[in-house]
Every structure is written in C-alpha cells, then in structure tokens.
Structure 1
Amino acid sequence: MVDAFVRPARPDDAPAVARIQLSTWRTAYAQVIPASVLDSLDEDEVAAQWRSAIVEPPTPRHHVLIAYEGDATVGFTATGPATGEDLVGPGYASESATAAGEWDANALVIGALLVEPRWGRRGHGSRLLAAVADIARADGFTKAVAWALDADQATRSFLQSAGWAPDGVGRVLDMDGTEVPELRLIVEL
C-alpha cells in the first residue's frame, strides 16, 4: 500500500504548490479560464506568492496544507477566515457580518483545493478536505464556504458528496474580460 498523507506546507513546498496549481488550471480549466490568463501565469511568481502565504499568512487561522503520495506532492489546499465578500447573500446578514476586508470569526473559506489531475481519484481530495475540517474545528469555525467554478462539475460533485450544498449564491469573476461564473457551497461544521 502506498503511503498517502497531508501535512502543513513549509516554505520549500511553494514551487510544488505553484506547479500543481498551474498544471491543474491548464489541464482542468483550459476551456473556462481564458488562455490569456493562463499564459500570463509565471510559475516562479506564483511560487513566490505561495511562499509568502506559507511564511507570512494574514492570520494564524490561514493554512496551506500539502497532500503527498509516497514522496510526490500531489495536491494542496489553502484556507482561512471568510471575508464579507465570501458571505454575501441570504442567510449571512447578521450583526456579526464583516466589513469589507475583515475576517469572519465563524466561517472558514476554502480558497483553493486542488489535486493534480494525474493523481486524481486516489483519495487525496478527501484527505485534504478532512484535514481542513479538523483545522477548522480546532480554529473555532462553525461553518465553511467554498466557491467553485460553475463549469467545474467535478469539484461541485466532490464537495456535495462530502456534505456540502450549494446555497443559491453565485458571483462572476472577470478574467481578462471574460466573465467566469462561480457558485458557493456551504457546510456546517
């Protein structure tokens, strides 16, 4: 049996995270994300951004986790407190609503959860999601949100199979002049 596990990211993991992100986006999202956006992504620059996120997270409740199979880095996730922009729409208006740019004390957002396509369907996404749930509970979050590209049926199906549900809220990203719709999924922890 192959050894597979998840651990917190270290600074030297940043190049692998960048490679996984770019490989996944260029493979799985090539029909959704404009080629001009994908072509403009420089692996070294993306790695530097991930290194910064790992070394100097915005809060102690921001985490980057790495999935391994054997000695290969195969996936990652990035999480942290949700912002007011993540919590718009029905069911989120309350006295505890955050102002723009502030972090929510109760809601975690999954900013990224990617497994490199060649390592898919081997349980890495489930291990990452379980680790996210453990960290979320330890950090005191009571709910979690994730945004999935409308065209990304695989991610939506994966999250729904783990108990997440779309809540009817969407948003549109502007990617170099192309509108890319996303749907929000939620889960109570």
Structure 2
Amino acid sequence: MSGWRIEPLTAEHTYGLAECHICCWREAYDDLVPRHVLDAFDVDRRAAQWERMRVKYPHGTHIALSGDTVIGFASVGAPKDTPAASELELTALYVRASWYGTGVADDLIGIALPDDLRCSLWVFDENPRAQAFYRRHGFVFDGARKIEDFTPALMVRMVRAPGRDDLR
C-alpha cells in the first residue's frame, strides 16, 4: 500500500464516510442517476445511516483513509435476494475519482471479501468500468437483472465463486 490505509469503520469516521459516499455517487453516476437524486443527498442524514449500519454490523464496512480523509470504502452483508445467489453480498465499493487506478479499490475488495465464500453484487448495466474491475476480481454475470431502487437505471448481478485465483 502507498498513501492510504484500510481500517474497519469507526464512529469517528462515519461523517467522513458519508461525505465520501455522496462525492463518489456524484462523480461516478452523473450520467446514470437523475441530477435531482444526486443533489438531494444530505451528509448529516447519510452519516446517521452509516452510524446505524456500523453499530448493527460492526465488521461490515472498511474504509480507505489518506491521512484522516476517507477516500473509499467497501461494505458487505447478507444478500437481500430471494433466493440468495451467494453467502455474502458486496453492497458497496466506492473510491473517490482522484484515487482511481491507484490500487485502493483492489485493497478494499481484498479485505472486504473472504476468498472462501461465494459472493455477489449488483452493478449498473451501463457502468463498464466497474464491471471490468469486478471481472478482474473473479466476478461473472449470472443473468439476473433489476431496476435500481431510486432511479430508472438497470442493475445486473455478478457472482464470484469461492477459491478462485484472481489478479490481486
């Protein structure tokens, strides 16, 4: 690692995580998510949500820090799909655009997802950059599709088998 460190989310970083989360959505999804949705994000409300998640799932979120600034994060949990496609779902993986290509996302996914569990995730159908990243980490499309909860954007599911040998 160079220039960042990965740590479990703590209470002192939930506000910084909220700022990072909103920034990442605005950077990554400006052309996929309606502007009014992106503009409506509120840092205080998002920080409160992350604090509730931190308390409920104390080992579910890891953050990447440069100094004391949250520059990325990964969050995992039980799959919400019925039937579940995997034992674990990557519910979020974001890195600020200025850190793209540095290896931060590789480190986050490496810490967030154990090699011995089948894992799934949902990604925007019109996000080839993210899809290529996940393919590099052993994920493949399984054919499932759905509309994202608060946008008209189509999501596709990707799944990774346990014990694969990827490029990490």
TM range (shorter): 0.7 to 0.9
Taking structure 1 as the reference length, what is the TM-score of the superposition? Answer: 0.78
Report the Cα offset of residue 68 of structure 1: 2.2
Report the Cα offset of residue 71 of structure 1: 4.1
Relative to 1, partners in 2 of residues 1:186 and 1:4: Cα closer, same or farther, differing over 3 Å?
Answer: same
Q: Could you tell me which of 125, 145, 169 is aligned with 2:120? A: 145
Relative to 1, partners in 2 of residues 1:41 and 1:147: Cα closer, same or farther, differing over 3 Å?
Answer: same
Query: What residue in structure 1 maps to residue 79 of structure 2?
Result: 82
Q: Could you tell me which of 115, 129, 146 is aligned with 2:95? A: 115
Query: What residue in structure 1 maps to residue 27 of structure 2?
Result: 27
Find runs of 4+ consecutive structure 1 residues off by over 4 angstroms. none
Relative to 1, partners in 2 of residues 1:86 and 1:179: Cα closer, same or farther, differing over 3 Å?
Answer: farther
Aligned amino acid, residue 2 of structure 2: V
Tell me which moved more, 17-26 or 76-85: 76-85
Aligned amino acid, residue 66 of structure 2: E
Unaligned 5+ segments in structure 1 are: 93-105
Of structures 1 and 2, the larger Rg is shown by 1
Render the CA deviation track for 1:62-117: whole Å, top value 9, x for unaligned: 60101123443210011011123473xxxx5xxxxxxxxxxxxx610111000011
SS in 1 for 2:152: strand
Q: Distance in 1 between matches of 2:149 and 2:106?
A: 30
- The answer to whether the aligner puts 1:63 opposite 2:60 as a matched pair is yes
Structure whose residues are more often strand by fraction: 1
Give the percent of matched residue pairs that are identical in Structure 1 and Structure 2: 27
Unaligned 5+ segments in structure 2 are: 163-168
CA contact (8 A) 2:4 2:67 kept: yes
- The answer to whether the aligner puts 1:154 opposite 2:154 as a matched pair is no
CA contact (8 A) 1:65 1:78 kept: yes
Report the Cα offset of residue 3 of structure 1: 4.0
Aligned amino acid, residue 141 of structure 2: P
Alignment of 1:4-43 (within 5 A): 4-43=4-43
SS in 2 for 1:46: helix
